[in-house]
Structure 1
Amino acid sequence: MTHIDDFDLKILTLLEANGRLTNQELSDLVGLSASQCSRRRINLEQANLILGYHARLAPDAVGLSMIGLIEVRLINHTTEYVTSFHRMVEEESAIVDAWKTTGDADYLLKVAVADLASLSALISQLVAGHRSVAHIKTAVVLDRLKENGVMMSPPVNTRQ
């Protein structure tokens, strides 16, 4: 485990909020020189504490406006079935996030597709096309309130 100090933690927090900050901007916010911030950022990247930089796109921008959450229970947990399921998760581009969970489901998948027909096809592929899957339960996301720690829409005013 890499030891991080308060400066590293502040750099991580600032980059999480805005991955486009330059080393100079970071140095101004953290209180270190730009070269020190650069070295620390590189060390954090090499320690795999920064996993990458990306733009968060609106689903509509890429034609994937329907979000679904799919709970998956496997038939059994043999190495063959688990490996096969993990391979399918890796290869299926509609699956944007996957978590192994406790409770009734073994996995929770977040999927992004174009429409209800595409979601239906994906569900059919999961159930009929993959022998390791015993059961699935699907929920369609009606509204994205908060993602990655960021509120997506203004709070609803319940007072009239």
Structure 2
Amino acid sequence: MNPAIDEESLHPSSLDRLDRRILAALQANGRISNQELAAQVHLSPAQANRRHKRLEAMGYIRGYEARLDADRLGLGVTAFVHVTMERGQHKEVQKFQRTVGKMAQVLECHAVTGDFDYVCKVVARDLKGLSDFLLGTLAQQPGVNGVRSSVCLNELKSTSALPLD
């Protein structure tokens, strides 16, 4: 831990109203200039920049990225894939976690409770591409006992913005 940042300052309750407004502005537009950010949150540019850098240093901001349009890029199929692992295969589970993190088709993968061990959000060009990936790649990973998928028919909401209130 950075010695300049104490444990108490890392607690979310240490965020004041201005910090939350800065985070909200950055979630809405990660490319906002410091001048625009300062005007939007009613701070001087120096104060806005100082707070912004502090929020980055404290780990509240994990990074910046462009959100691309999957359909425009020819990735017309999105599916949620439920993966079940064989029990008692600790080494295989660790290998699966490392391997799935490198698979470009897997946008998200979460270890979950319930009937499955993982839920992954996967994209593919078409249903054949999804099938090839699921049966030829994902299901073939050591330790994978089963793979079930649900294909998305229509995206109703997609955001990475977190609620800040």
Q: TM-score range by the shorter chain?
A: 0.7 to 0.9
Q: Which residue of the other structure, out of 65, 70, 74, is the alignment partner of 2:85?
A: 74
Deviation at 1:61, TM superposition (A): 2.4
2:22 corresponds to 1:7: no
Within 2, Cα distance between the matches of 1:5 and 1:100? Answer: 32
Say yes or no: does 1:122 pair with 2:133: yes
Name the count of aligned residue pairs. Answer: 149
Question: Following TM superposition, by how much is the alpha carbon of 1:56 offset from its aligned partner in structure 2, in angstroms?
Answer: 1.2
> What TM-score, normalized by structure 2, do the two folds share?
0.84
1:31 partner amino acid: H
Residue 124 (structure 2) aligned to one of 113, 120, 128: 113
Residue in 2 aligned with 1:53?
64
Structure 1 runs (4+) greater than 6 angstroms displaced: none
| Counterpart for residue 38 of structure 1 | 49
What's the RMSD between the two structures over aligned residues? 1.6
What is the aligned-residue identity percentage?
35
Q: CA deviation at 1:34?
A: 0.8
Question: CA separation of 1:77/1:23 partners in 2, compared to 1, >3 Å: closer, same or farther?
Answer: farther
Correspondence for 1:64 = 75
TM-score by length of 1: 0.86
Residue segments in structure 2 that go unaligned for 5+ positions in a row: 1-6
Report if aligned partners of 2:89, 2:143 keep a CA contact under 8 Å in 1.
no
What amino acid does structure 2 have at the position aligned with 1:82?
Answer: V
Secondary structure of the corresponding residue to residue 30 of structure 2: coil
CA shift, 1:11, in A, is 0.5
Q: Show the counterpart of 1:144.
A: 155
Taking the aligned partners of 1:61 and 1:48, their CA distance within structure 2 comes to 33
2:98 alignment partner, one of 81, 84, 87: 87
In 1, the alpha carbon distance for the partners of 2:160 and 2:51 equals 24
Q: Distance in 2 between matches of 1:57 and 1:73?
A: 30
CA displacement at 1:141 relative to structure 2: 0.6
1:79 deviates by 3.2
Decide whether the 8 Å contact of 2:81 with 2:119 is kept in 1: yes
